[in-house]
Structure 1
Amino acid sequence: MSFSMIIGHENIKFQIVSSIKQQRFSHAHIIVGEDGIGKSFIARETAIEILGKCENRQYADIVEFKLAKGKKSIGIDEVKSIIEETTKKPYEGNKKVIIVYNADKITETAQNAFLKTIEEPPKGVFIILLCEKLELILDTIKSRCQTYKLNRLSEEEMMNFISSKFPGLSEIELKSVVAFSDGIPGRAEKFIDDSSLREIRDTIINVLRTVSTSNLEEILSNENFFVKYKNEWQEVLTCMLSYIRDVLIYKETSNRDLIINIDKVNDIKDIAEMFSFNKLNGIINIIKETRIKMEKNVNSTLVFDSMLLKMQEV
């Protein structure tokens, strides 16, 4: 892949390439954007440009640091390793690029330890920080970096991206992917490739159907699904809210063109007939309450059981 192959973010790509060619590219940068927006692609292509290379392959002088599996933050020891890497001479030329993923997960203490290196890295060393939440990066670090904000792609850009990456999709499939992705390429890829997401989407429809009944045993039979996907609870709740949003809009307008989950339009129609506006709005509030509890690390089984019961009662 090259910058020309990355769809969208035209101004940012032009700015980066121009400053590198004119040899005025600064030594520290932050690329901020939502998960799946393309931060890592932009970072790697930037690194390849800095090194003066053109092939998209592994380079010894592009060093990537990622959040360790199972860890929630990047601490002082990990930052010391990054700092140590900056002191090592490049292998193939006179430049080296350090890409730090999840930079907003670096603890405040570790960020302070990193500050001097970001301010004055060794000659020929470039540092690129990737993050989703810029507000978690210390102001002292932000002030020493050039920041690039990646925005969601337009519908036309998403159409081009999906059509080129997944040729052969039917019109309904293409519309479904574009709507679900909401301008984020990574979500489009997940929609098509991730079997877990397909199960989540299919099962949530059944969950909403059972909530419309008064059979408590049937409602609680969904517990195993929520236990299975407790680590993907954000995707589960986002999917549920997306369906409820579609049901509300269809119930009010009867316009299928406004539905995000267009591949589930028949299910959306059925559920719209099952629920009143009051119940749908009540379910939205319950889902939002559930999200807050999950963010506080409350026992997931208890949280989801409570959610299902409240949905049935509302």
Structure 2
Amino acid sequence: MVISKVQIDLQPWLVNAYQDLTLPLIQHRAHHALLIKYISGSGEDDLINKLVMRLLCLEPQQNQPCYHCHSCQLFLAHNHPDFYRVELEKGKSSIGINQIRQTITKIYERAQQGGNKVIWIRIASLMTEAAANALLKTLEEPPENSYFILSDRHDGQLLSTIRSRCLSYFVSMPDLENASIWLKQHVLTNQFNDNELATALLLNENAPLAALSLLDSEHWQNRQQFYNHLYRNLTEKDLWELRHDFINQEDVLIRLHWVNTLLVDALKARHKSGRFIINRDHVPLVRLIASFGNETIIQLYSIWNNARHQLMTMTGLNQDLIISNLLAESEILLNA
């Protein structure tokens, strides 16, 4: 898809981040390597695209790209010869050393537009250790007029040696009140109540675009159906029947996350901190889990969180086996 000016206009909560990231450019003290950490669904790609465009622009207006110079036009056409975007290739699970080496070779060449060269490594924690080490030397001694942008989720794990050579910046999200105001303007207000809007935001760490995606009818209905099944099976203490809600589902990690938030909510409810719960639209389910007692809830959280962590960080695992073991272990725990 061709980027247009409209597509890189920033959402309100990104304006301050963009100003922070571009101020050093105006002051001629920009760091050659940025590590931008974000919460998924915050509009992070729009923010970085606009930053890249400003770095490449030949006639910038303070912190804004001009949109008119040949460099801007090439970028808008996705055809800029001095911009290198490195990301996960289709069918791969990591960014390999060959991708990094090929990019490094190119940036030592003269900039074809006579300006800066920009390298954006998207989801940088997907680099293999060998790829990260290949990048390290270039970060230590970068070519002239070259800028590196490494972007990653806030919980992504990068080598400390890479982090130490970058200027880190975290893209903060709006508070719940302001995020809710934005969300109300972008959904049918009579379709969702305030508790549902707040829940969608809190499940996504206040990232408005991720919350908006969750409220898409199919996603939201899938969550409602899953929670209804969970309530019934927890009441009967028969978790094995939940296999159908996990096996062969594309959003397994999301569903595991939802269960973890419910377990944390239950602990909050038991400690009279119900006003801080995330799943505000499913209070009866939270109360049911809270009835299991602190020790059981903590044990359940440990095994569910461990299963999610394994599936997120270890490649080649048998997902069906992990889920089956998780449900069997949870059922034993509830019936002990």
Shorter-chain TM-score bucket reads 0.7 to 0.9
8 Å CA contact retained: 1:9, 1:151 = no
Q: Is the 8 A contact 1:31 1:148 kept in 2?
A: yes
Partner residue in 2 for 1:299: 318
From 263, 274, 280, give the equivalent of 1:262. 280
1:185-196 matches, cutoff 5 A: 185-193=208-216, 195-196=218-219
Name the CA shift for 1:119/1:272 in 2 (closer, same or farther; >3 Å). Answer: closer
Q: CA deviation at 1:77?
A: 0.8
CA distance in 2, matches of 1:233, 1:119: 39
The answer to whether the 8 A contact 1:96-1:126 is kept is: yes
1:300 CA displacement: 2.4
Counterpart residue identity of residue 36, structure 2:
I
Q: Is 1:211 the equivalent of 2:245?
A: no
Q: Distance in 1 between matches of 2:174 and 2:86?
A: 27
1:136 maps to 158
Unaligned runs of 5+ in 2: 1-6, 68-74
Q: Are the aligned partners of 1:9 and 1:150 in contact in 2 as well (CA < 8 Å)?
A: no
Unaligned 5+ segments in structure 1 are none
- Partners of 1:290 and 1:156 lie apart in 2 by 33
Quote how far apart the aligned CAs of 1:239 are. 0.4
CA distance in 2, matches of 1:181, 1:38: 13
Indicate if the aligned counterparts of 1:33 and 1:150 stay in contact, CA closer than 8 A: yes
Q: Which is helix-richer, 1 or 2?
A: 1
Pairwise CA RMSD: 3.4
**Cα distance change, pair 282–205 in 1 and its aligned pair in 2 (3 A):** farther
Q: Distance in 2 between matches of 1:104 and 1:310?
A: 31
TM-aligned CA distance change 1:105 to 1:277, over 3 Å:
closer
Q: CA deviation at 1:100?
A: 1.0
Cα gap change, 1:38/1:85 in structure 2, threshold over 3 Å: closer, same or farther? farther
CA distance in 1, matches of 2:271, 2:325: 29
Identity %: 21
Assess if the C-alpha contact under 8 Å between 1:64 and 1:99 holds in 2: yes
Structure 2 equivalent of residue 111 of structure 1: 132
Q: Match of 2:268?
A: 249
Partner residue of 1:36? 41
2:41 match: secondary structure: coil
Q: Which residue is 2:243 aligned to? A: 223
Verify the 8 A CA contact 2:233 2:241 in the aligned structure 1.
no
3-state secondary structure, aligned to 1:99: strand
Matched, 1:308 2:327: yes
Q: Which residue of 1 aligns with 2:24?
A: 19
TM (norm. structure 2) is: 0.75
Distance 1:210 1:63 in 2: 50
- Kindly state the Cα deviation for residue 91 of structure 1 after the two structures are TM-superposed: 5.6
Contact 1:100–1:128, Cα closer than 8 Å, also in 2: yes
Q: Which residue of 1 aligns with 2:117?
A: 96
Aligned: 1:236 with 2:242? no
**Who is 2:301 aligned against?**
284
How far is the alpha carbon of 1:306 from its aligned partner? 2.5
Letter aligned with residue 319 of structure 2 = S
Label 1:258 to 1:64 Cα distance change in 2 as closer, same or farther (>3 A).
same
SS in 2 for 1:127: strand
Contact 1:27–1:126 (Cα < 8 Å) also in 2: yes
Write the distance in 2 (CA, Å) between the matches of 1:293 and 1:4: 35
Give the equivalent residue in structure 2 for 1:177: 200
> Residue type matched to 1:43 in 2?
I
Q: 1:145 to 1:3 in 2, by over 3 A?
A: farther
